[in-house]
Amino acid sequence: MKKISIVFLMLLIISCKQEMKIEYSLINGSIENNAAETAVIRGNNFEARIAINENGMFTDTLQIKNDGFYDLFVGRERTGIYLEKGTNLSVTVSADEFDESLKYSGDLATENNFLATKYLWNEQNMNFKETFLLDEKEFLSAVRNNKKSIDSIYNSYKIENKAFKNMLAKEDKYSHAIMIENYKDAHSYYSGKENFNVSDGFYDQIKDINYQDTVAYRNSTSYQNLLQTHYNRLVSEEITKNGIKNQTVLFLKKVDNALPNGYAKDNLMSSFLQFGLKPDESLEEAYTIYKNSDPNPENLAKLTARYTKLSTLTAGNPSPTFNYENHKGGTTALEDLRGKYVYVDVWATWCGPCIREIPSLKEIEKDYETKNIQIVSISIDEPKDYDKWKAMVSEKDLGGIQLMSDNNWKSKFVVDYAILGIPRFILIDPQGNILSADAPRPSDPELRKTLDKLM
């Protein structure tokens, strides 16, 4: 009887221990020179927003579902972190020198201090433009040498956490595959070699990657990025080979055919359509493919609302109008330009890609100055950057009609055109009807072809 009681007691203790297993992770941080209101933890189909107090401190209990890699965002800064259930992690950082000042303490200090060192090394040593500009042999050599450097850093930390080691090995494998997948298009873009191609067998080095691993897709941001890159690469190859221009429809078809219905397929397709769904000839087909792919109801509702909005912006529909402050004084409305083709450039002084289009936009203006077309640039800068806008227009000698919108991203013209990213270019006919709600950029040769047909 006594033995039975002892056995029962042992089972009870084991049971209690199992019930007491901690299913959450604790995190806290201290941020010097902080200006952000929240810290955000995101990854593994999880997100938490943590308030940062006036002293730059934050703390929270994270009900994460999986151990693994997450992203920590503070304002516009981002870094990768590793979390496990039942552990605590403390971070100290200066907002002024974010990557350089990251320090961790707690149960997972060694793992995360390694990650901080790794990311800082990449920031200081990895110039992606220079790397992708290398010829194929030099590129592969650079990738191998970078891995050796990271491996050396890793070894210096003497990490014993087996779960971390296994996950890191997979993440490194995905990151390597992303570089390989990106090389052809990136080299072509940076070098200006439109017909550049890689050697036969170039992709054999990543042939063991499973591009249908729906479990990895849920648990790894790197794997999600890899699939996005992989299918974009396949689409690019098909466009080059067959001259097909409808990137959105091609992408959706490839993903729809390759992956089973479920989270991975829906996330890939809906994420792509957030910006890829456009008010052009592909709108109906793209929406139909997604609608018939057994999508998540919430994502379908969001994309249906966007589809409905974009349906009013297809060619031939009346254009939304504007009436904004002119840099030269007064205001200018779309109605004032009736009788002319209008090429609208929606931009901002803080937008790098917008600034890079300026030289090409000036060339377009010069080459078509005698034609029946008016270029209009609408800034969506915030009111605090009004003087910066005024100065940049003058300093860069920007031509055309330079306007400042009245409420940045919430300006009626911007909202009516469902603009989510800039630069955005719009072409309107002399009667005020839409020719293209997402026209080619000034640097795209297609713009000149389009304008030449109209003139």
What are the respective helix, strand and coil percentages of the chain, to the nearest 5?
Answer: 50, 20, 30
* 328 token code pair: 């030269």
Q: Choose among 180, 124, 113: nearest CA to 153.
A: 113
Q: What is the pLDDT of residue 311?
A: 96
Token output for 262: 């479920």
CB 91 within 8 Å of CB 99: no
Q: Cα angle at 92 between 91 and 93, to 5 degrees?
A: 120
How confident is the model at residue 2, as a pLDDT? 44
pLDDT at residue 381 tops 90: yes
CA–chain centroid gap for 417, Å, is 21
Average pLDDT over residues 51-67: 94
Confidence of residue 455 (pLDDT cuts 50, 70, 90): confident
User: Rounded to whole angstroms, how far apart are CA atoms 371 and 204?
Assistant: 52
**CB contact set of 341 (below 8 Å; sequence gap of 6+):** 372, 373, 374, 427, 428, 429, 430, 435, 451, 454
- Report the top-level CATH class of 323-454: alpha beta
Main-chain phi, psi angles of 307, to 5 degrees:
-60, -45
Which of 362, 368, 345 minimizes the C-alpha distance to 455? 368
Note the pLDDT of residue 1: 41
What pLDDT digit, counting tens, does each position of 10-50 carry?
Answer: 444 445 444 445 678 999 999 999 999 999 999 888 999 99
For tokens 């390989």, the residue is 180
pLDDT of residue 400 exceeding 60, the answer is yes
pLDDT digits (tens, 9 = 90+) for 212-260: 999 999 888 899 999 999 999 999 888 888 776 788 999 999 999 999 9
What is the per-residue pLDDT across 131-168, written as a single tens digit (0 to 9) for each? Answer: 999 999 999 999 999 999 999 999 999 999 999 999 99
Q: How many CB atoms lie within 10 A of CB 331?
A: 13
- Determine the pLDDT at residue 221: 87
Confidence at residue 5, expressed as pLDDT on a 0 to 100 scale: 52
Give 17-109's CATH code, choosing from 2.60.40.1120, 3.40.50.720, 3.90.920.20, 3.10.20.30: 2.60.40.1120
Average pLDDT for 72-81:
93
Long-range contacts of 91-94 (CB under 8 A, 24+ apart): 91/27, 91/28, 91/29, 91/30, 92/29, 92/30, 92/31, 92/32, 93/29, 93/30, 93/31, 93/32, 94/31, 94/32, 94/33
Looking at residue 21, what is its pLDDT?
Answer: 55
Collapsed DSSP state (helix, strand, coil) of residue 94: strand
Phi, psi of 415 (to 5 degrees): -65, -45
Indicate if the pLDDT at residue 4 is higher than 50: no
How far apart CA 219 and CA 66 sit, in angstroms, is 8
pLDDT higher than 80, residue 196: yes
Q: pLDDT digits over 261-286, tens only?
A: 999 999 999 999 999 999 999 999 99
pLDDT at 358: 96
For helices 221-242 and 263-276, give the axis angle rounded to 10 degrees.
60
3-state secondary structure of 74: strand
Burial of 136 (0-12, 13-18, 19+ CB in 10 A): middle
Give strand pairing partners of 374: 342
Could you give the angle at the alpha carbon of 210 between the alpha carbons of 204 and 213, nearest 5°? 165
Q: Tell me the domain boundaries of the chain.
A: 17-109, 129-311, 323-454
Q: How far apart are CA 98 and CA 280, in angstroms?
A: 42
> Which amino acid is located at 423 in the chain?
P
* Burial (0-12, 13-18, 19+ Cβ within 10 Å), 9: exposed
Instruction: Supply φ then ψ for residue 247, to 5 degrees.
Output: -60, -40
